[in-house]
Structure 1
Amino acid sequence: MRILKLSILLAVWLGAVGPVSGQMSPIPGFPPGAFQSRAALDAGSAGGCSQATTFLARTSGLSGTETTAYTNLICGLVTDGIITGTLSGAAACGTKLDALWIFATNTTTTANLNLCGTSATVTINGAPTFSTDLGYTTDAAGNNTLNSNFTASTAGGNMALNSAHVSAWNITGGAGSSDRLIGNNVATSNRVTLRPLDGTSNTGFTINNNTQDAVAGSVRNGHFLSNRSGASALQIYLNGASLGTGSSASVALTDQALQFGGDSTGGNGCACQIASASAGASLSSTDAANLYSRLRTYMTAVGVP
């Protein structure tokens, strides 16, 4: 009897305050609008997306700020259509990204993870310095670099001869020389390199060819993205905005693993502090801007200047 009276009183009160907005189907035994379904409540409290949940399950020890930053980054890239996969299994990121590494995070274990699945985990050459929530610092001699373990010619991923991109975020400013923020074996005819300020106030870049294109540049720090959209069509972006174009013809899909902070010969090192990197298929100008914007939001959240 007491339960019945309480139910009646609750029904009267709910009728007075009106229905709850955004509700799901009513729970049996209570008037329509009394509660949202449990699933809706859980979704509302958790937020995010399934892709973020999948990646975060691979990590440990993240702070609340880092967890939120990852969630916003991943779910934002899903919204933008840059991540189109589930972040698990083959082609984990979908059709545009093969790899996305966030070095500005809590530990080297997390930093070395490829968000796009369990392949292409970064390994260390030498002893680059790691700074929490900033990333790895490599050296000018090329002794301390990052090996992506991503080789486009054997990965079977989205990066193709005439559809490819690489990117990296360099925190460090200052004058440049022949430093390679991104590099591989310079002796082959199918290299991938990106050189912010190559010694002549230019930004130099190659993708699947051996003839460097160069565009006028004035800075060495920021998010650089080099893109090949066709057999003789290349683009370079800095912080999501076009820096220029190139026209060198493609030769062959690169057969060396991408390196960050140098190249696979152990030379051409970059005294860089690297916060993130990516590789995959050609990105549109909108994709390039969106990728930068989402990364900038992440970097701001964790404290990257």
Structure 2
Amino acid sequence: MVGGIGHIGRIGYFSGGSGRRKVVSVAPIIRRLTAERGLFVLVGQNVNLIYGGSAPNAPLLTWTSDASTAYPVADIYLDETIATGDSIQSQIQVSGGSWTSPVFNITHVIASGEAASGDAVLTQGPLATGTYDWRVRVMRASDGAASVWSNVETKTIAVHDESGDTQQAKDFFARVRSAGISIDKTHGDAVAAFINGVVADGIWSKFDALYLSATQSLTLGRLNLVSANYSLANFGGDPIFTADKGFKSTNSPQQQTSGFTPSTASGQWALNSAHFMIWPLETGASTSGDIGTLSVTGGGGYAYFKSQPAGTSWVISINDRGQRATESTATGAGCYVASRTSSAGFNYYWNNTVFGTIAQPSSSLPSSNIYVGALNGNGWGNKTIAAASFGAGLTSTEAAALYARLRTYMTTMGVP
């Protein structure tokens, strides 16, 4: 149904299922409007003429973000009468209310670029889990005239509640939002529980980087939980990603680099206090290595791990020039930790098992950056990586605490 006939020569906009259409002619006697092209609507939907007489024409709102973000985003489409300095009033309410007490009621001043393009993008929030209505209107700066309200869009939001989180978890979610990455409630709850638990265990400060790549998306799995530094990046192209399992580098362009070089980073990783953790999913041997760096130039130390199939020894090195074989695991998959807490040697662990100590003295810090799912200068791993970390040395108690938190998280993700 057309909600108004307008004036001869006046240009308005329809809003309907397929967007907006400019009115190109008006025939008031027979009450007919002609649009510039067809407008598609579904059965039961209305078609409204967005027009407010002498006031500005009403905008058209499209809620563009998905249901997994607490900070929703909308595109606001404006007509050519809107000018720089005019404003948009935006309201979000709990669905079904009377708009007397909206959850958010903000005013956005229209910038020159928005006026020129006829398009403004608004972000509001945070919203808790629930169903919400969103509407907007425009207000002209020259005379204060306001348009009628736009169409109302409704969406149900399901997001993690950050109110009980540690500051470390809140900081991570802030970085997720800043990067424009979606995280739904299931994954948000699981990541928050993991971070809050590691903080409670007193080992959060041990990490330079900590990655949960068994998650919702590759972009989310590349983020460093600990800080804005050392998120993973492509050495070439994207690795193969499987949701809730992780990523796999199957050739050289898919290697993932952290940007962390132990000899220059001045981080938690030190000559006689360093660890790395890697959780590969497949059994069998890694093609070249699962995590680490070979200082192929400059004489720096090695730091890397290569998983092997059942009955075959691992290969491990951490801040030394050796390549030491160790005891084998049952499968070649699972959570591996190597941790140096002294100059004399380092300990190694698989899942919750302490395998022992390698008496390999430290020599020097690695002088090239750490790769995950691969080794720099030495190919790729060819295993799906569910989690990884590196930083200061972990005691056996701390390594066990890390594994326990990872095991809980992986169970939530369906990782065996």
TM-score between both structures, scaled by the size of structure 1: 0.76
Whether 1:146 aligns to 2:267 is: no
2:352 to 236, 240, 257: 240
Q: What is the identity, as a one-letter code, of the residue corresponding to 2:347?
A: Q
Q: Does 1:53 align with 2:170?
A: yes
Distance 1:154 1:261 in 2: 22
Aligned-pair CA distance for 1:293: 0.7
Runs of 4+, deviation exceeding 4 Å: none
The Cα of 1:262 is off from its aligned counterpart by: 2.1
Residues 121-144 of structure 1: CA deviation (Å, up to 9, x unaligned): 1111333101112110122x5442
**For residues 137-176 of structure 1, what are the structure 2 equivalents within 5 Å?**
137-139=248-250, 141-173=251-283, 175-176=284-285
Name the structure where helix makes up a greater proportion of residues: 1
AA matched with 2:175: R
CA distance in 2, matches of 1:64, 1:116: 20
Aligned to 1:185: 294
Give me the whole-angstrom Cα distance separating, in 2, the residues matched to 1:243 and 1:138: 28
**1:294 correspondence with 2:413:** no
Hey, what's the Cα distance between the residues in 1 that align with 2:290 and 2:392?
19
Aligned residues: CA RMSD: 2.0
Q: How does 1:265-304 map to 2 (within 5 A)?
A: 265-267=377-379, 269-304=380-415
1:63 to 184, 189, 192: 184
Match of 1:205, SS state, is: strand
The counterpart of 2:336, out of the listed 220, 224, 227, is: 224
Specify the SS of the correspondent of 1:288: helix
Write the distance in 2 (CA, Å) between the matches of 1:199 and 1:144: 26
Residue by residue over 1:225-262, the C-alpha shift from the partner in whole angstroms, topping out at 9 and shown as x without a partner, is 11111112211111132122101111111111111222
Q: Counterpart amino acid of 1:180?
A: G
Give the secondary-structure state (helix, strand or coil) at the position aligned to 1:58: helix
Contact 1:123 1:148 in 2 (8 A): yes
Shift in Å, 1:80: 0.4
What residue number does 2:365 align with? 253
Moved more, 46-55 or 282-291: 46-55
- Indicate conservation of the 8 Å contact 2:175/2:228, yes or no: no
1:109 is the counterpart of 2:224: no
SS in 1 for 2:187: helix
CA distance in 1 between counterparts of 2:217 and 2:321 reads 36
Offset of 1:46 from its aligned partner? 3.4
Identify the residue that residue 115 of structure 2 maps to in structure 1: none
- Distance change >3 Å, CA 215–CA 51, structure 1 → 2: same
Tell which structure's C-alpha radius of gyration is larger: 2
Task: Look up the equivalent residue of 2:397 and give its one-letter code.
Answer: T
Q: 2: CA distance between counterparts of 1:178 and 1:210?
A: 20
- Give me the TM-score of the superposition, normalised by structure 2: 0.57
Deviations 1:272-300 (A, max 9, x none): 00011101111010110110110111111
Q: Which residue of 2 aligns with 1:123?
A: 233
Decide which structure has greater strand share: 2
Moved more, 287-296 or 99-108: 99-108
State whether residues 65 and 302 of structure 1, in contact with CA within 8 Å, keep that contact through their aligned partners in structure 2. no
DSSP-derived class of the 1:222 partner: coil
- Cα deviation per residue 1:35-73 (whole Å; 9 max; x = unaligned)? xxxxxxxxx993332221121122232121111101110
Between the two structures, name the one with larger relative contact order (CA 8 Å, sep ≥ 6): 1
Q: Which amino acid aligns with 2:315?
A: G
May I ask how many residue pairs the two structures share in their alignment? Answer: 248
Aligned to 2:308, which of 197, 206, 218?
A: 197
Aligned pair in 2 of structure 1 residues 199, 270: CA closer, same or farther (>3 Å)? farther
Q: Distance in 1 between matches of 2:286 and 2:411?
A: 28
Cα separation, partners in 2 of 1:108 and 1:233, compared to 1, 3 Å: same
Residue identity (%): 33
- Measured in 2, the distance between the counterparts of 1:143 and 1:243 equals 34
